[in-house]
Amino acid sequence: MRLDRFYPIFNDTKWLRQLLPLGIKLVQLRIKDAAPEVLRSEIIAARDLCQAADCTLVINDHWQIAIDEGCDFIHLGQEDLVEADVAAVRKAGLRLGVSTHDRAELDRALALAPDYIALGPVYPTILKKMKWHQQGLPKLTEWKSLIGDTPLIAIGGMSVDRAAGAFEAGADVVAAVTDITLNTDPSARVKSWIRATR
């Protein structure tokens, strides 16, 4: 299945309610700190909103709730892989995306036959403290040569203006977080992203 080339990542379903109607077709819900009951209700709400909008929903990290609530795609970081039961994820029929930053992580991810590989941060990012500095566009080209037909997601410091360069370097999909959520007009920004990626 082909993934949409624009992949926004949000930490609250309020963003989905506001922005899904603009035509987003691939989205990640990434909630890091929430009480279990809040987390579950957010995931259920996101599932229902995305089904209604014909949008592919990817749940970050919370694979057990994703299985329980009938979601069909999860994203795992390298730390999440340590604790996740990938066999249970696959048995439940969920698709899987995996974050990578170096060759060892890429090898580990590819061994799981993921549905996409993410590489980041392509550019410096303010979102989270990372031990990896910017990977740069040449790393996208290298990764694409190594993963073949597996979709490659570019993430980290991505903006509408930087999207074309990421695609040219080999990315299949570009993920965006703060370029939307910190924008003075998130709706206009999403429209710009959709124009730039379709």
Pairwise CA distance, residues 94 & 86, whole Å: 10
| CATH number of the 6-197 domain | 3.20.20.70
Q: What is the pLDDT of residue 43?
A: 98
Q: What is the pLDDT of residue 192?
A: 98
Domain ranges of the chain: 6-197
Q: What is the pLDDT of residue 133?
A: 72
pTM: 0.96
Write out pLDDT tens, residues 112-151.
Answer: 999 999 999 999 876 656 666 789 999 999 999 999 999 9
Q: What is the pLDDT of residue 130?
A: 60
Q: What length is written for the chain?
A: 198
Q: What is the pLDDT of residue 102?
A: 94
Q: What is the pLDDT of residue 170?
A: 98
Q: What is the pLDDT of residue 80?
A: 93
Pairwise CA distance, residues 163 & 173, whole Å: 9
Write out pLDDT tens, residues 6-64.
Answer: 999 999 999 999 999 999 999 999 999 899 999 999 999 999 999 999 999 999 999 99
Helix, strand or coil, per DSSP, at residue 77: coil
Write out pLDDT tens, residues 57-111.
Answer: 999 999 999 999 999 999 999 999 999 999 999 999 999 999 999 999 999 999 9
Using alpha carbons only, give the angle 86, 78, 120 rounded to the nearest 5 degrees: 130
Rounded CA Rg of the chain: 16
